Amino acid sequence: QVQPVESGGGSVQAGGSLRLSCTNSGFTSNNCGLGWYRQAAGKQREWVSSITPDGATSYADSVKGRFTASKDNAKDTVYLQMNSLKPEDTAMYSCKTYGAGWYCSSSRWGQGTQVTVSS
């Protein structure tokens, strides 16, 4: 299976929190990294965060200090904890694997999960 499944989105007020999940069977055993991306209506998709096979994380400046990526290797699942949400965080959030191997690099985009933050 080379297609992630995202979940955990919803509608919250500004300042609230959500935890997104991305499950991709086999990404752990194939030593894939995983990136989180978001796309607001009418805008380009942008990178949000990445996590390496060994758990090192990186973040876009816009979310640094508010979002935290983590993973559970036993479940082939990556999480994105989003705190202090702002209206500008409203977007469709998607995830995708990456890496040198064919398995990691051939992953499809998932359906995404919608996050809506009201002021």
pLDDT tens for 39-74 read 999 999 999 999 999 999 999 999 999 999 999 999
Contacts of 61 (CB under 8 A, 6+ apart): none
Contacts of 12 (CB under 8 A, 6+ apart): 18, 85, 115, 116, 117, 118
Sheet (strand 113-118) strand order: 10-13, 113-118, 91-98, 33-39, 46-51, 57-59
Predicted confidence at residue 76, as pLDDT, reads: 95
Is residue 102 over pLDDT 60? Answer: yes
Report d(CA 70, CA 54) in Å as an integer: 10
Kindly report the average pLDDT of the chain as a whole number: 95
Mean pLDDT, range 3-7, rounded to an integer: 93
Predicted confidence at residue 5, as pLDDT, reads: 95
